[in-house]
Structure 1
């Protein structure tokens, strides 16, 4: 997790070195040194992340060191923003004598800001060097040196998933029909080798279901050879092949070949291929993470055309699909427990020794709320029910757990297995997808997120990088699809063309994301439960708080601000509010009680995303033309009927969305209104969506102007 603070910053410094080389003047080398130091630190951060995943003890010295790295990364980010605001904002473009004079004037005007930036860079460089030296003094080793081989895995002693192999029948509810269907796929069907893949998010019960199928007497009797292999994130293919051979031999009461422990991968593959021609086999590979796993294993378990079966459990649907390249595949997408089954399982666990297994009337409402929060996840239901079975059966204890569930995941040993299992999927993400995933936590619990809105925010944040031949929006779409395939994001609505329109986080994942955002200083969430904040924070999500709370935003270096469910935002508050947030990149006022945008909006040089959707704003100030970096301007369902001519100065604008639909009218042309726009829109070279324009205002001249758009 710690790496998420540094990796994007290295990208930003590299961009600064290449794009702003002339402006950096004599401190170009200092900035390059900082980038190199951060790259050196990055390998240690990867190691710290890997150790955290493996649940190895991390001493307080390492934790303090990681915290210091995050703090200095924050300071570098702010310094870059200040530099761009004070210096690059005034960089002249004209050429010739006039251009030379302007450049000379510009250099004179920016001597002090340049001097300040140079001093700040020197200070930051000294801090980073101290941090790097401290890492060596603590004896940290980087992953590049091989210090943490296999750290991405979890030892059997600490593996929370082992409990699912030994669940009592009382803890197994609602999977009877699933067991029957999987058994029919194993013992029936084609004689060719077949892969049965059980797919679903962590904690859904994939291992439990598969173990019940694997242990079924019909399955045991049908196959000549059986093997259960736990794969996990870290594995050696030779160890897996040896385990298969040994389990096959043990089940048939045979002795494995002498020297098997010394065989390399090729010899082990040949040994299995020689062993299996006339035998029906079933092999379970539990908890597969990477699609490359199939390439490693497919040749060792041949298609002997007498009914070989391979079962794979995975959180990633792409793992299942990849097997289709060379084998018959059945995919079973395990679903959350329905409400009635979830309730039965909860009562069995929470009241197993009380009230004859039934919930008392005074606890029913809170119990149903707790079960609802589990979202049909058996692991969570069993863990939370087990925890509550140890508590007094009263309203105080039940409400206390309900209100602090997110906090309890991080500290309560009864719930640590849930936290670990759900966190594994997050830790397996590359750093850029980690940032994208964490961003979903800025939306309130149970919020159905508009995917296009999310993509544009990701892009504005810099999470999405250009790929040749694709738009940034197409790359963002691929990011979301990968998060969905990894069972981290749920689809809540699909378009007619099959693309995802809306998505959401599982409630328990949302709780865990909130904790991770806080630990990483990624975002602070202001709500009725927590309406104050202090320290460094890059992003703010505000939900159901009074506007008085927002007054505490003074001098905060916030990148993103998302507002939800506010009651009021008075005009007297908005102007100082804008002037205090000079570093904003994302400002989302969607559905806020807003009818006015102050002229100060033009001072937000870094702003890339501005949404006023579903507000009562009627007019945009002329200063909107100063937002040189604005990429998205969303005015849907506002009362803005005409755009100022200054809008044509926004050369980076990609999405200009402005219309009003009157849902009180039957569908007709009169029910939808576009905006009036001045000629000159053809200068918006990056524009890719313009929605809608009132052609009665611009007519033929406007159409000719729009021909210039690329």
Structure 2
């Protein structure tokens, strides 16, 4: 995960460089010495950022010594950013207090002495920061960090992938199982023809369960009066799931009724009553435990109108539980055949299943063997290889060796994480931090492009481009992530431009894993997890429901938070007040 350290450090430097530039260009009165120290810090950090970019573009992962140095740069950048923010806060608090008359004269006299004292303390603070920067730079030379950087691996985006995405991402090999299951669940004769049925699709993450359920859903829903497709995830919000179902099946609440405050039993009763004499099709995607299913199934009345429920899960016991009390069928998801694997792989890389050059045939077969017929793995690797305009065999061999030899025999979360990591490692440096920032959003959340690109700009992740607004540059970043198959399009406009996206749960798992390892984002759905955190929280994502005890985090240091995202229906806001440090106080 060393590449994540480098990207996090780059992102930290980008934010502090912008603030140092603002400090020099703004209306702040600084001693000449302090201004010189700030100019030195800015120049030195610029040099470090360029070096980190080279490190992130290296073909090989940096060693542990380089990782340690990158961590030090990150913490140094955070420290400088905190000092700049505290100084700005102090100056603004002093300038906002305007008194007139004799009291005003006394205040201005005291303030003059205080301001002079503050400027000297600012100069002293930045002298200390300069010493830290020089120590970090000297350590880079002393331990020969530059030797960890090999030749950069520059890649070019293949714009054909945007058009191919909807046709190839998980759809190869789906028609057969889809039509087979539709036939299987359709009873032509007998008293059970109109009985409610349950189809449970089970299999390892990345096999295409959601894609298959979605294909059945869209092909069959014209035959039903009501239909809904909802995702559950590992830590389900039952009330939100039930509200989404109510909305999708067409329920309209009476005037003056607020379903947001309904309890679970009220939502279940409303669904049962609405669906009672209707033919409905409901997909419950990604169920992780029997208890969740036992609650959700209470919302479905057992009528004789030919209704159907489809569930997906990774756990066999859960799949069995979904079918045990009604007429049902458990379908064990299969990996793609060799033929379908080749079709999916070559269409994404070359645009045609017959366009692979002879010199890449053998290594392609080895790559496909190691992907084990898993659509997510094939899509991820083929997107990576398609991004190279020149198809160099040596790089394909390097990718093949990176996959590990045992994944096709024993697919595990760590193995899939290793495959998905290749997408991250081979991103240009300017996209890596943007990808990690997606960890701010909860599982199955629909992310709107306009919201995301503005956050990237505000966080300082977007490089300046002559003649372009930062938002336009950030939008290009978004399109590249779609192009590479890292984020999945949800909504598009009439020009096929992607307006919103979501993350596959295994891609989000990878991002959260990296963010947690490098203290890039702290995300939680339980406020108790925040108590006693040893690391400074820089970006905080909360997914909370209900009433939260506001005293829980009173002793937790959160003044260093630079980004806060809140999800769920709780109105709780954590204490983020910033106070000037003792070094700046008079």
TM-score of the two chains, using structure 1 as the length reference: 0.43
The residue that corresponds to 1:435 in the other structure is: 433
User: Would you say 1:227 and 2:365 are equivalent positions?
Assistant: no
| Cα displacement string for residues 412-434 of structure 1 (whole angstroms, at most 9, x for unaligned residues) | xxx2xx33432232233344422
The residue that corresponds to 1:539 in the other structure is: 539
Displacement after TM superposition at 1:550 (Å): 4.4
User: Would you say 1:45 and 2:52 are equivalent positions?
Assistant: yes
The residue that corresponds to 2:248 in the other structure is: none
| Higher relative contact order, chain-length normalized (CA < 8 Å, sep 6+) | 2
User: Would you say 1:289 and 2:349 are equivalent positions?
Assistant: no
The residue that corresponds to 1:11 in the other structure is: 17
Are the counterparts in 2 of residues 231 and 287 from structure 1 also a CA contact under 8 Å? no
Q: 1:138 aligns with which of 143, 153, 156?
A: 143
User: Would you say 1:34 and 2:41 are equivalent positions?
Assistant: yes
Q: 1:473 aligns with which of 471, 474, 482?
A: 471
User: Would you say 1:514 and 2:512 are equivalent positions?
Assistant: yes
RMSD of aligned Cα (Å): 4.6
Are the counterparts in 1 of residues 17 and 46 from structure 2 also a CA contact under 8 Å? no
State the alpha-carbon separation in 2 of the partners of residues 286 and 481 from structure 1.
15
Pick closer, same or farther for the CA change 1:152–1:467 going to 2, 3 Å: closer
User: Would you say 1:557 and 2:552 are equivalent positions?
Assistant: no
Pick closer, same or farther for the CA change 1:485–1:105 going to 2, 3 Å: farther
Aligned residue runs from structure 1 range 45-444, under 5 A? 45-46=52-53, 48-49=55-56, 54-55=60-61, 58-59=63-64, 61-87=65-91, 108-141=113-146, 148-149=150-151, 173-174=336-337, 176=339, 198-199=347-348, 226-228=358-360, 287-291=385-389, 293=390, 383=407, 386=410, 405=413, 409=414, 415=415, 418-444=416-442
Pick closer, same or farther for the CA change 1:226–1:427 going to 2, 3 Å: closer
Are the counterparts in 2 of residues 493 and 502 from structure 1 also a CA contact under 8 Å? yes
Q: Give the secondary structure class of the aligned counterpart of 1:386.
A: coil
Displacement after TM superposition at 1:465 (Å): 5.5
Q: Give the secondary structure class of the aligned counterpart of 1:563.
A: strand
Displacement after TM superposition at 1:78 (Å): 0.8
| Cα displacement string for residues 181-237 of structure 1 (whole angstroms, at most 9, x for unaligned residues) | 99xxxxxxxxxxxxxx6327xxxxx99x96xx689xxxxxxxxx93228999xxxxx
Pick closer, same or farther for the CA change 1:126–1:199 going to 2, 3 Å: same
Pick closer, same or farther for the CA change 1:529–1:421 going to 2, 3 Å: farther
Are the counterparts in 1 of residues 8 and 74 from structure 2 also a CA contact under 8 Å? no
Q: Give the secondary structure class of the aligned counterpart of 1:69.
A: helix
Displacement after TM superposition at 1:522 (Å): 1.6
> Structure 2 regions of 5+ residues with no counterpart?
99-104, 156-332, 365-381, 397-402, 581-586
State the alpha-carbon separation in 1 of the partners of residues 52 and 363 from structure 2.
25
Displacement after TM superposition at 1:500 (Å): 2.4
User: Would you say 1:580 and 2:577 are equivalent positions?
Assistant: yes
Query: Which is higher, the Rg of structure 1 or of structure 2?
Result: 1
Q: Give the secondary structure class of the aligned counterpart of 2:445.
A: coil
Q: Give the secondary structure class of the aligned counterpart of 2:30.
A: helix
| Cα displacement string for residues 128-180 of structure 1 (whole angstroms, at most 9, x for unaligned residues) | 2112222222122268xxx5236789xxxxxxxxxxxxxxxx99625646757
Pick closer, same or farther for the CA change 1:179–1:199 going to 2, 3 Å: closer
State the alpha-carbon separation in 1 of the partners of residues 517 and 528 from structure 2.
15
Q: 2:456 aligns with which of 450, 455, 458?
A: 458
Pick closer, same or farther for the CA change 1:435–1:231 going to 2, 3 Å: farther
Displacement after TM superposition at 1:487 (Å): 1.6
Q: Give the secondary structure class of the aligned counterpart of 2:443.
A: coil
Pick closer, same or farther for the CA change 1:454–1:581 going to 2, 3 Å: farther
The residue that corresponds to 1:256 in the other structure is: none
TM-score of the two chains, using structure 2 as the length reference: 0.51
Displacement after TM superposition at 1:523 (Å): 1.0
Pick closer, same or farther for the CA change 1:10–1:460 going to 2, 3 Å: closer
State the alpha-carbon separation in 1 of the partners of residues 435 and 83 from structure 2.
26
> Structure 1 regions of 5+ residues with no counterpart?
95-100, 154-169, 183-196, 201-205, 216-224, 233-283, 298-309, 314-378, 389-404, 410-414, 584-710
State the alpha-carbon separation in 2 of the partners of residues 444 and 519 from structure 1.
18
State the alpha-carbon separation in 2 of the partners of residues 64 and 198 from structure 1.
41
Displacement after TM superposition at 1:438 (Å): 1.6
Pick closer, same or farther for the CA change 1:88–1:466 going to 2, 3 Å: farther
Displacement after TM superposition at 1:512 (Å): 0.9
Are the counterparts in 1 of residues 537 and 558 from structure 2 also a CA contact under 8 Å? no
Q: Give the secondary structure class of the aligned counterpart of 2:347.
A: strand
Are the counterparts in 2 of residues 87 and 114 from structure 1 also a CA contact under 8 Å? no
State the alpha-carbon separation in 2 of the partners of residues 554 and 5 from structure 1.
22
State the alpha-carbon separation in 2 of the partners of residues 14 and 529 from structure 1.
34
Are the counterparts in 2 of residues 14 and 35 from structure 1 also a CA contact under 8 Å? yes
The residue that corresponds to 2:210 in the other structure is: none
Displacement after TM superposition at 1:442 (Å): 0.6
Pick closer, same or farther for the CA change 1:20–1:126 going to 2, 3 Å: same
Displacement after TM superposition at 1:65 (Å): 2.6
State the alpha-carbon separation in 2 of the partners of residues 133 and 466 from structure 1.
29
The residue that corresponds to 1:24 in the other structure is: 30
Size of the alignment, in residue pairs?
359
| Cα displacement string for residues 239-260 of structure 1 (whole angstroms, at most 9, x for unaligned residues) | xxxxxxxxxxxxxxxxxxxxxx
Displacement after TM superposition at 1:518 (Å): 2.0
| Cα displacement string for residues 554-577 of structure 1 (whole angstroms, at most 9, x for unaligned residues) | 4431011111225453xxxx6xx4
